[in-house]
Chains A and B, each alone.
Chain A
Amino acid sequence: MDYQTIIVEEKNAVGYLTFNRPKQLNSFNEIMHQEVSKVIKTWAKDNQIRAVVISAEGRGFCAGQDLNDRVVDPNADAPDLGLSIEKYYNPLIKLITEMPKPVICAVNGVAAGAGANIALACDIVIAAKSASFIQAFCRLGLVPDSGGTWFLPRLVGRAQAMGLAMLGDKILAERAVQLGMIWQVVEDDQLQAEAKKLAEHLAQQPTYGLSLIKKAIHAAADNNLDDQLILERDLQRLAGRSSDYKEGVQAFMQKRTPEYKGC
């Protein structure tokens, strides 16, 4: 399958989705939205794919919306920016957060606007030392979208979230780790190798169990403790029925390395 705006590769149970509009800093246009969502939807259902890596070509990760698609004629009617959010960005964020397998984001360069928030929607975010995050929206009179206002306070707390969203400063990868915004920072030339290592490790793990962990952690953001304890009981019930759990227990008893199938 050929794509115009992304590169897609499947290897060792890992799906690699690479944004490929380097000249436009991998900003999203309609075709890119369609291609990205098509691939993620396919992988969500594909049992052969047990981890996903999202990364990008060139020096940037993703500059969010391609503003060439949104040239504002000062005399024209106000544009409806809600449209592309409803049609593309919101479904994309839900695809990532509801994907029943780990999604790793390897941020190679600047992640700005929706690009930053797409990265933050992923389960494990690693970044190159030279990468940066910018909530650029406020500079144009806009609101952080693609889940930005939801993820940020949950990741870094309200004080830092307000600062990030209202000032729109560039946050370097090291600082992002300190703030708890992302998981890890690595040397620039190590980024792809680290992402691959992480993904291949996760792709061998009990995928179904990981999907339940993901679900529980996302639910925790909204639940009170009582509800979360009930959810944990429910998910543990389901997890206990998986064949990977059986395998895990057997392997432990037999003192061998478990071989997980992801179900």
Chain B
Amino acid sequence: MLYIKINSPKPGVVLIELNRPEKRNALNNATLQDIATCLQDLETDVAVKAVVITGNTECFAAGADLNELAQLDVVSIQQDQRPLLWKKIDEFSKPLIMAVNGYAFGAGFELALHGDIVLTGENAQFALPEIGLGMLPGAGGTQRLARLVGQQLTMRWAMTGEMISAQTALQHGISSQICPAGLTMQYALELAAKIAKQAPLAIRAIKQSLKSIHEVTLSQGLKLERQHFVWLAATQDRQEGINAFLEKRKPEFRGM
């Protein structure tokens, strides 16, 4: 992996660090490919329970790679592999936590929006600056953001490219916590470790159930939720969870 660093700082937790600091972690095709490939590998690795993606303390990812984009005409952009890479990231079934410090612009913002949970440093700044280049966000920016914060703010941000502070992001549910930038990664890893200790099948069911909210109606969603609920009743971890609670001890989940 050329553009990302991968390690496992806590049991069950994998940390992916975007590592192209000289380009402010701009998400060129190769970086995106690295992320997608890595997540695909982690998908089938049973030891991996949660994943954190981060940049560095100054910058998450400052956008796409404009040099690459500039070379694409209308024909080649139709055959572009990027939508497939984004899809792979979107389809990752384990908890994906984004630890965002500094700039998360354009594709960087869109990558953050692929996270199940987002933590930011207080220096975080989001923006959709594509409009300034005569484009629109092309990796779900208009869609995911509007579903999170509504039409008003998304229209405004996408049409102006205005900066969104960490405080504003928290206020509107783009993130769930602001940390001092020097601690964002630590706190994201601790959160991931907490999730990694939970019953993996239940975690997966929660993610699937939640990710369906924008795909289906409420009554369909409730049915899906119920199905997950029933299905989990057949798992050993559920039995263990309930037993441990009744016996006043800590549960030991095994993903079964």
Contact = CB atoms under 8 A, between A and B. Distances in A.
A234 interface: yes
Which of A234, A235, A238 has the most chain B CB within a 10 Å cutoff? A234
Contacts of A235: 180
Interface in A194-238: 234-235, 237-238
A237 B182 CA distance: 9
Nearest to A241: B182
A143 B8 CA distance: 55
B224 interface: no
A234 B177 CA distance: 13
Nearest to A234: B180
A206 to B, nearest CB: 16
Contacts of B183: 234, 237-238
B59 interface: no
Interface in B162-195: 179-180, 182-183
Interface size class of B (residues with CB under 8 A): under 10
Contacts of B182: 238, 241
Contacts of B180: 234-235, 238
Interface residues of A, number: 5
Q: DSSP majority for the A interface?
A: helix
A18 B27 CA distance: 45
Interface string A238-253: 1001000000000000
Contacts of A241: 182
Interface string A93-120: 0000000000000000000000000000
A258 to B, nearest CB: 22
A234 B184 CA distance: 10
Nearest to B179: A234
A262 to B, nearest CB: 16
A234 B119 CA distance: 15
A238 B180 CA distance: 9
Contacts of B179: 234
Contacts of A237: 183
Contacts of A238: 180, 182-183
A51 to B, nearest CB: 22
A241 B182 CA distance: 10
A207 B183 CA distance: 19
A235 B179 CA distance: 10
Interface in B83-119: none
A209 to B, nearest CB: 13
A237 B187 CA distance: 12
A235 B180 CA distance: 8
A238 B179 CA distance: 11
A23 B111 CA distance: 56
A208 to B, nearest CB: 11
A234 B182 CA distance: 9
Nearest to A235: B180
B186 to A, nearest CB: 8
9 contacts: A234-B179, A234-B180, A234-B183, A235-B180, A237-B183, A238-B180, A238-B182, A238-B183, A241-B182
Given A234-B183, A237-B183, 7 more contacts: A234-B179, A234-B180, A235-B180, A238-B180, A238-B182, A238-B183, A241-B182
Return the 6 tightest CB-CB contacts between A and B, nearest first: A234-B180, A238-B182, A234-B183, A238-B180, A237-B183, A234-B179
